[in-house]
Every structure is written in structure tokens, then in C-alpha cells.
């Protein structure tokens, strides 16, 4: 059946041949996976044969929108960018804010697929149905911010710019793709895939639109939901402080990581918390179609960024033993410009700090050394000096130099800034996430800490909890709707999809889509050889008790971790090895 909201068009760009063509969107896939995250993974499953080299010519980049993209549905402006990950070898899908996703939709496409490789560094210009291949001689080697500035001055602000920095050009497995200067497709080395295709940037402008049935009535209802549900008090912390609000809650909750996850709580959190950062705020910004505006544009000293987000605050602050808010902003700015994921780069640097302090290997940097942390970023992006030893992330570095016990990662993707000994379910959520350790799949602290609805220091019930959270986010990010519409429900999701697509969606179908998206991601990884042996927990969590905070004394016993894995596999219908049975794969 036909669905409105979609453009029913995929733009396929053959970088090797310098050609492009369009084809209809696979509506069977769309009916089962809706859009954005889910649709991207289903296409990847179809088009990427197992064993493909993530930095090789056969990997593809999938820029995927959803049916809600380009409509005034609040928080619908994000774009999924997916590929096989060079950091982990698993599937990877990132979610980038800004305006690019909406402009791709207005240009007339549901999805853009990049295949092959440019002969020499270049950038792609997409304006409605026109596609141009341009030389990037004067852009290659430049920071992402300078490149975006040059392109925006040349083409105008009607174009969205998606660009990589030197990290992506050097194929760093922590390289990200930037847009609007400070928004990222951040993790899993997605920027390196773009770099491996010699693509410095993609710029896109669209003068078309999105049609929905009964548009005046549809718009009235969409705006009513914006005013009544999105802008209610429970979500307005997003405008007031953005993710900086998490810092205090994580500190008090016992999940703020300290000095490379060796402890939690920082008694000095007030020196760099949202109160301090907001004093320096110069402006607010949101993505296209946002209602909340989570972006804090601020300046401390000479350091400028839209951010910093909680992840960056934590990894450059307490987790590095640093308390200086100007350093945190500078870390954010420099990482964004180099095109490096702050989480992975930060985690690798703080691991190097601990290695040096323990005398296992001297990387020349210790906790608290803020200036060195900044210069380390540049060395890692360019794979120079000590940066060359750290550039490939904490898993590879620890395999070479030791210190694997406190190399905080799963499958090669470094740990987000939530301490699982304070929220046991998170250790399992990190382990089973579809792309390595990621907090955006199942966000366990929501239930175990912030809601106090499920006790944090036990394995009981965590399988179902992690599943429920994961199912919810999986479908939410397939519509897509941004994380920050926190009060959205399956009823609202189904109503929005019905309004926009003209097909009746029921709330139960949202749960089905979520489950299916979780399964297709796992199926992709299973085909690549991943199984229970790869759903890991760093030894530190089992061996080192926390010293302070509400979780003082906690470790996660291996039996508890294994129990949580068993529970989750059972809820998913996978076998004891964490693998999907054939009958389940066939339903996908």
C-alpha cells in the first residue's frame, strides 16, 4: 500500500563512476521498519555482504530519513547515518541533528546511498535532482569547521553541510561526521567510512516539500501535541540546561565516572555544572522541526562550542580528573573541529592517563593534565607521535600495551559516561547494544537511578528492563523522533505515523517495530560472527569496588552479569549463545 510522508525515492550515488541514479524506496521494508534507524539497518542487511571491509570500497553509507522528517512533528529533524563500523566490525547507525535530514527530504529523497570511492578527495553537491561531484583540493586537510565555513560562504545557508575533519581523512576509528558545526554523527568511526571514500563533505539543499493527507487538520493536531506534550514541564529541562542537567543527577545517583571509571562522584562537580556553564551561554539552538532547543551556544575564554553535552563534560572533566569548565568547552571545540568522537577519544586518553600513573606504560599524560589532553586529540586525529599508539582506540591499545582490565569498551566501542556498578543493568545494556558500548540503545539509568523504580545493585529483572528500554528507543529512532521528546508514548507515535502516512498504525505495532529493529541489528552482527563471547564486561567492573557515593563497595559479579545476559537473550527469543534462530531471522 502507498504511504504519504515518504518521497518514495532513494538516491544512489556511485562515487567510483561519478554517476547517480534514483530508484523507488523499498516500501515493504518501510512498512516493517518505518524509517531512519530501522530502515537503514534493513537496507544494510540487504546490501552489505558479511565480511566486507568497513574501510574498503564495498562498505556503503546510508543517509536515511523517516516519514516524519520534513513535517512539523516536534523533534523529528534528525538524520540517521549508517554503515558498517571500522571500530567494531558491527553495524553502526548514528543520529545527527541540524537540518541536513530535512533538506534531504525536501530535495526529494527518503535515503541517499553512497557506494564506491572517489578517485581523489572531493565533495558532493545535491540540489533537488541535481548531483555534482566537486574537487576538494582546497578543503582536504582542513578542520571540519573551516571546511564548513568555506562551503557555506560559497553556496549559502540554504545548504546543509555534512563534513569530516582530519580524523576522518586519516581513517580514525573514532572519526565523526559534523553538521551545523557542532552536531555529529558521532560514534563507531562513521567519519572514517566517509574518509575512506575520499568524501570531504556532502552539501544538500531542497526546494521541494512533504505532503500529508488533510494537511490543515494534520498540522493543527501536530502543533497541539507540540504545545501540550512536548513543551510540558517534564521536557523543558532540555531548553533550560540541555544535557548539562545530567551531571548533578549522575553525581548524586552514583553513576558519574571518575578517573577512568575507577570511582564515582566528584565532590567538586559544582565547578563545572550547568549553573556555571549557562552563565556563559550566548544563544540557544535546536535542530529543524525541534520545539525544545537543546543546543547551548557558549563561550568561556576563547573556547566556543554548541554544547558541551553531558558525555563530553564527564569524559573531559571528572573522568579525566579535571574540574576546569573552560577546558571542557575547549575539548569539545577541538574534538568537533578535528572530527573526533569526544566519548571514544576522551575514554582512550583517560585510559592512557591511568596506564601512565600505574607505570604500566608511559604515554606521557596523567589525570588532571588538561593541556596535554587537548594536544593528545590532535595527535590522535593525525596519528602522530603518542597519538599514533592511541588512535585506534582503547581495545587495540590495551591488547598491545596491557591494562585490558580497565580498558572500558565493548566490541571496540568505548564506554559512555555512566558507571554500571551504580546501575547494573547498564553493564548488560552496553554489552548487548547493536554497535558496541552505547548508551542510546537501552538507557538503564532512567529506570535504575533517576526513577528509582528498579533497584540498581541486583541482576533481577534486568533482562526485561533493558529490553523494554531498547524496544522503545529502537522504534522512536525509526520514525524518527529525537530522544528529548521524553514524554512521547506508543499511542502518540502511532497517531503521528497515522496522520503523516495515511495508513493506520496501532500502538502495539510500535512495540513490534521496536523489537524487529533490535533483531535486525543483531542479525547483521550475527552474520559477521558476533555472539555471546563478544557481549562483554570489562574486568574492572567485576573486580574493583567503587569507593564513594551511594554505590560505594559495589562490583558486578560475573555470575550476575551472565544472569542478566541469559535473561535478555530469553526475552529476545535468542539461544544461550545470543544467536537468533533461523525461523526468527526469516521473519525479518
Residues 477-516 within binding reach of another protein (CB under 8 A): 483-484, 486-487
Site for another protein in 65-104 (CB under 8 A): 70-72, 74, 77, 99
Q: Which stretch binds another protein (CB under 8 A): 348-356, 439-447, 457-465, 514-522?
A: 439-447
The Cα 543–Cα 422 span in angstroms is 14
The Cα 392–Cα 355 span in angstroms is 16
Q: Report helix angle 370-382 to 325-338, nearest 10.
A: 10
Short-list 167, 110, 121, CA closest to 15: 121
Q: Which stretch binds another protein (CB under 8 A): 34-42, 162-170, 236-244, 565-573?
A: 236-244
Nearest-approach distance from CB 405 to another protein, in angstroms = 26
Work out the number of other CB atoms within 10 angstroms of the CB of residue 581: 10
Q: Which stretch binds another protein (CB under 8 A): 163-171, 283-291, 509-517, 533-541?
A: 283-291
Pick between residue 180 and residue 534 the one whose CB is nearest to another protein.
180
Nearest-approach distance from CB 292 to another protein, in angstroms = 7
Element holding 241 (H helix, E strand): none
The Cα 126–Cα 124 span in angstroms is 6
DSSP letter, residue 229: I
Site for another protein in 318-347 (CB under 8 A): none
The Cα 314–Cα 295 span in angstroms is 17
The Cα 294–Cα 289 span in angstroms is 12
Q: Which stretch binds another protein (CB under 8 A): 46-54, 89-97, 280-288, 559-567?
A: 280-288
The Cα 143–Cα 347 span in angstroms is 22
The Cα 26–Cα 224 span in angstroms is 32
Pick between residue 326 and residue 566 the one whose CB is nearest to another protein.
326
Site for another protein in 353-392 (CB under 8 A): none
Site for another protein in 240-279 (CB under 8 A): 243, 245-246, 248-249, 251-254, 265, 267
Instruction: Mark 317-333 as b/e (b = at least 16 C-beta within 10 Å).
Output: bbbbbbbbbebbbbbbb
Burial of residue 58 (CB within 10 Å: 0-12, 13-18, 19+) is middle
- Answer for which of 261, 415, 424, 443 binds another protein (CB under 8 A) is 443
Altogether, the residues listed in the chain come to a count of: 588
Nearest-approach distance from CB 221 to another protein, in angstroms = 12
Q: Looking at the DSSP assignment, which residues form a beta bridge with residue 288? A: none
Burial of residue 518 (CB within 10 Å: 0-12, 13-18, 19+) is buried
Work out the number of other CB atoms within 10 angstroms of the CB of residue 132: 13
3-class DSSP assignment, residue 102: helix
| Binding track over 444-483 against another protein, x by CB under 8 A | --x--xxxx------------------------------x
Nearest-approach distance from CB 20 to another protein, in angstroms = 22
Q: Which stretch binds another protein (CB under 8 A): 289-297, 355-363, 366-374, 379-387?
A: 289-297
- Answer for which of 28, 233, 582, 583 binds another protein (CB under 8 A) is 233
DSSP letter, residue 463: H
Work out the number of other CB atoms within 10 angstroms of the CB of residue 290: 23
| Binding track over 533-552 against another protein, x by CB under 8 A | ----------------xx--
Indicate whether 405 belongs to the interface with another protein (CB under 8 A).
no
Site for another protein in 115-154 (CB under 8 A): 149, 152
Nearest-approach distance from CB 77 to another protein, in angstroms = 8
Indicate whether 308 belongs to the interface with another protein (CB under 8 A).
no
Distances (CA, A) of 28 to 3, 212, 219, 586: 11, 20, 27, 14
Nearest-approach distance from CB 539 to another protein, in angstroms = 25
Pick between residue 81 and residue 210 the one whose CB is nearest to another protein.
210
- Answer for which of 295, 346, 514, 578 binds another protein (CB under 8 A) is 295
Q: Which residues contact 273 (CB under 8 A, 6 or more apart)?
A: 244, 247, 248
Nearest-approach distance from CB 282 to another protein, in angstroms = 6
Site for another protein in 190-229 (CB under 8 A): 206-212, 215-216, 219, 223, 226-227
Pick between residue 310 and residue 351 the one whose CB is nearest to another protein.
310
Amino acid at each position: 500500500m502507498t504511504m504519504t510522508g515518504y518521497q518514495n525515492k532513494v538516491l544512489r550515488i556511485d562515487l567510483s563512476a561519478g554517476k547517480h541514479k534514483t530508484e523507488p524506496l523499498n516500501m515493504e521494508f518501510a512498512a516493517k521498519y518505518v524509517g531512519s534507524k530501522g530502515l537503514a539497518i534493513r537496507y544494510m542487511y540487504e546490501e552489505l555482504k558479511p565480511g566486507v571491509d568497513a574501510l574498503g570500497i564495498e562498505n556503503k553509507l546510508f543517509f536515511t530519513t523517516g516519514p516524519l522528517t520534513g513535517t512539523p512533528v516536534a523533534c523529528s529533524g534528525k538524520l540517521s547515518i549508517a554503515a558498517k563500523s571500522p571500530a567494531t566490525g558491527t553495524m553502526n547507525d548514528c543520529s545527527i541533528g541540524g537540518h541536513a535530514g530535512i533538506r534531504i527530504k525536501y530535495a526529494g529523497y527518503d535515503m541517499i546511498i553512497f557506494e564506491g570511492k572517489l578517485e581523489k578527495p572531493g565533495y558532493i553537491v545535491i540540489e533537488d535532482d541535481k548531483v555534482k561531484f566537486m574537487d576538494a583540493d582546497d578543503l582536504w586537510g582542513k578542520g571540519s569547521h573551516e571546511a564548513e565555513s568555506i562551503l557555506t560562504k560559497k553556496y549559502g545557508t540554504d545548504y546543509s553541510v555534512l563534513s569530516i575533519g582530519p580524523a576522518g581523512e586519516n581513517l580514525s576509528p573514532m572519526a565523526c561526521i559534523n553538521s551545523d558545526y557542532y552536531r555529529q554523527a558521532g560514534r563507531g568511526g562513521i567519519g572514517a567510512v566517509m574518509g575512506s571514500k575520499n568524501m570531504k563533505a556532502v552539501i544538500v539543499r531542497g526546494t521541494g516539500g512533504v505532503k500529508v493527507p488533510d494537511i490543515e487538520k494534520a498540522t493543527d493536531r501536530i502543533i497541539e501535541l507540540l504545545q501540550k506534550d512536548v513543551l510540558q514541564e517534564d521536557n523543558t529541562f532540555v531548553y533550560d540546561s540541555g544535557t548539562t542537567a545530567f551531571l548533578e543527577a549522575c553525581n548524586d545517583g552514583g553513576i558519574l565516572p571518575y578517573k577512568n571509571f575507577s570511582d564515582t562522584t566528584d565532590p567538586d562537580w559544582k565547578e563545572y555544572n550547568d549553573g556555571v556553564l549557562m552563565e556563559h551561554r550566548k544563544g540557544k539552538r535546536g535542530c529543524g522541526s525541534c520545539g525544545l532547543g537543546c543546543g547551548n551556544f557558549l563561550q568561556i575564554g576563547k573556547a566556543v562550542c554548541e554544547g558541551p553535552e553531558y558525555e563530553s563534560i564527564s569524559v573531559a572533566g571528572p573522568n579525566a580528573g579535571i574540574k576546569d569548565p573552560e577546558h571542557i568547552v575547549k575539548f569539545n571545540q577541538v574534538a568537533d573541529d578535528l572530527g573526533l568522537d569526544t566519548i571514544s577519544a576522551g575514554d582512550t586518553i583517560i585510559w592512557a592517563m591511568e596506564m601512565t600513573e600505574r607505570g604500566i606504560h608511559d604515554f606521557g599524560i596523567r589525570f588532571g593534565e588538561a593541556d596535554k589532553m587537548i594536544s593528545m586529540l590532535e595527535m590522535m586525529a593525525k596519528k602522530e607521535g603518542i597519538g599514533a599508539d592511541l588512535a585506534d582506540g582503547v581495545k587495540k591499545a590495551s591488547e598491545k600495551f596491557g591494562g585490558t582490565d580497565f580498558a572500558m569498551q565493548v566490541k571496540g566501542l568505548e564506554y559512555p559516561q555512566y558507571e554500571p556498578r551504580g546501575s547494573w543493568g547498564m553493564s548488560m545494556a552496553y554489552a548487548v547494544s547493536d554497535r558496541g558500548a552505547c548508551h542510546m540503545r537501552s538507557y538503564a539509568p532512567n529506570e535504575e537511578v533517576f526513577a528509582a523504580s528498579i533497584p540498581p545493585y541486583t541482576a533481577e529483572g534486568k533482562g526485561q528492563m533493558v529490553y523494554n528500554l531498547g524496544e522503545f528507543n529502537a522504534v522512536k529512532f525509526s520514525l524518527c523522533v529525537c530522544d528529548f521528546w521524553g514524554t512521547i508514548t506508543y499511542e502518540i507515535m502511532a497517531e503521528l505515523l497515522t496522520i503523516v502516512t495515511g495508513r493506520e498504525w496501532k500502538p502495539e505495532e510500535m512495540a513490534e517495530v521496536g523489537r524487529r529493529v533490535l533483531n535486525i541489528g543483531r542479525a547483521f552482527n550475527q552474520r559477521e560472527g558476533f555472539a555471546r563471547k563478544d557481549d562483554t564486561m570489562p574486568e574492572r567492573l567485576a573486580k574493583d569496588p567503587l569507593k564513594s557515593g551511594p554505590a560505594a563497595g559495589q562490583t558486578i559479579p560475573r555470575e550476575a552479569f551472565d544472569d542478566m545476559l541469559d535473561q535478555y537473550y530469553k526475552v529476545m527469543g535468542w539461544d544461550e549463545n545470543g544467536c537468533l534462530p533461523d525461523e526468527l531471522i526469516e521473519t525479518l
